Structure 1
Amino acid sequence: MTTDPIADYLTRIRNAVLAKHRIVEIPASKMKKQLTEVLQEQGYIRGYKVCSKKDDVQSTIKIALKYNSFTKEPAIVKLKRVSKPGLRKYSTVATMPSVINGLGIAILSTSKGIMTDKEARKMNVGGEVLCYVY
């Protein structure tokens, strides 16, 4: 059995949004930190903090989720994992996906780091399509 840390990351955020939690705690890794930075840059989360534990226990990322102050609707409506360990999905600049005609974002893992589809088009790089967020 293989584990998929990115799917676990997305599922934890999805479950916290559905349960209307303000903060979600996720085990940290370099890729998860980069995904969290992209989500904050794009305005899908309020903020995050990396908390290191003592006694050689894995550090965690605390993510403050974002909600509309009037309607209480979450900023993240849907998170969808695209590339999976059993079936990787790659995209070139020409075949880059557009999520809801540009209203959402596709997060890619490229040779230049983790970035959105729009940034990848500007930098003219392709890569593995990790997930869709809208």
Structure 2
Amino acid sequence: MTDRPLFLYDGDCAFCSSCAQFLTRRIPNTADVVAWQHTDLDGLPVTQDDCENAVQWVDGGRATAGPRAIADLLRTSTGVWKLAGHALAFPPIELLARPVYRVIANNRDKLPGGTPTCALPQAERDKLA
């Protein structure tokens, strides 16, 4: 395991990969932004099912998912991004963000950059490879 926090995303999903590229290019942060498929999940407090369900933030032995993971990542940044992370972690805002996140996650194959593969569970993707 690395000393830096990990932000794990779905590397088989073009939409998720585009978002991860945006994170690494435009938002300074202290995390390693990595596709979960390229990460040894053994020893991390997340499972493959967790990673298939939502983005994950892993910092030491602690993990968060979905909007909370995004908030945790943003809070390691600076300026407006750090402020956005604190706002997203604010309970009323996070409560509103959860269903929005779920709608986006469930429809990522239809979003710009998404492909039909984005909608498939990992077991189905493996069959295509």
Is TM (by shorter chain) over 0.5? no
* Larger-Rg structure: 1
TM-score normalised per structure 1: 0.27
Larger relative strand fraction: 1
More helix by share: 2
TM (norm. structure 2) is 0.27
